[in-house]
Amino acid sequence: MKTSISLLAAGLLLLASCGEAPTREMPETTETPEAAPVDPAYDPEARLAEMGIELPEASSPVANYVNAVRTGNLMFLAGKGPRLADGTYITGQVGADLTEEEGYEAARLTAISQLAVLKAELGNLNRVVRIVKVHGMVNAAPGFANQPEVINGFSDLMVGVFGERGKHARAAVGMGSLPRDIAVEVEVVVEVRD
């Protein structure tokens, strides 16, 4: 016991004789970064018109949640599915009830549903800075493994509408089932500006 106390005391004396431990200086950040300049040619709403896409009214939540929550410059969109013009949804399992191509179209319709939410929340899609993260879920039959090809229906439309700003990080996963048996559900994180 005496030896360990002696070693501890010797270590403390050695540290004291070396002076203060070096500290890493952090740079001062008094400047606030300026917002990226708005490209006058950036007009996702004009791009939608060129593509012949008319956004529907954003659908109302079917349970105890809201369509979108904004915190700072990020907007988190609740999961949406492939809603048709008559208000019904594309349903069934991809790989059993639906082909991969039909799943792709379901994901594309889901993108239109999410764009409708963004438009309702922001008033103008020009306020979208970047599509940051997409979480795509496919109602997949056992053994179906082409979830990325299905969710490309969503991703391809985002890039088509927003260009480089539409490129995003992504997950594309298979689910044993989805609410109301919808074929696809997608959640999105979007960076926005005032």
- Give pLDDT tens digits for 87-114: 999 999 999 999 999 999 999 999 999 9
Terminal Cα distance for the chain, rounded: 66
Q: Is the pLDDT of residue 17 over 70?
A: no
Q: How far apart are CA 168 and CA 132, in angstroms?
A: 5
Q: What's the pLDDT at 26?
A: 42
Q: Is the pLDDT of residue 161 over 80?
A: yes
Q: Is the pLDDT of residue 85 over 70?
A: yes
Structure tokens at 120: 């309702």
Each residue's pLDDT tens digit, 49-60:
999 999 999 999
Share of the chain above pLDDT 70, in %: 79
Q: Is the pLDDT of residue 130 over 90?
A: yes
For 125, list phi and psi in degrees, rounded to 5.
-70, -10
**β pairing state of 169-175 and 184-192:** unpaired
Given a contact cutoff of 8 angstroms between Cβ atoms, the answer to whether 114 and 151 are in contact is: no
Where does 44-192 sit in CATH, by number?
Answer: 3.30.1330.40
Q: How far apart are CA 176 and CA 115, in angstroms?
A: 26
Mean pLDDT calculated for residue range 110-134: 97
Mean pLDDT, the chain, whole residue set: 87
Q: Is the pLDDT of residue 19 over 80?
A: no
**The residue type at 106:** A
User: Where do the domains of the chain lie?
Assistant: 44-192
Helix (H) or strand (E) holding 80: strand 74-80
Q: Is the pLDDT of residue 148 over 80?
A: yes
Q: What's the pLDDT at 37?
A: 55
Res. 18 pLDDT band, cuts 50 70 90: very low
Q: How far apart are CA 185 and CA 172, in angstroms?
A: 10
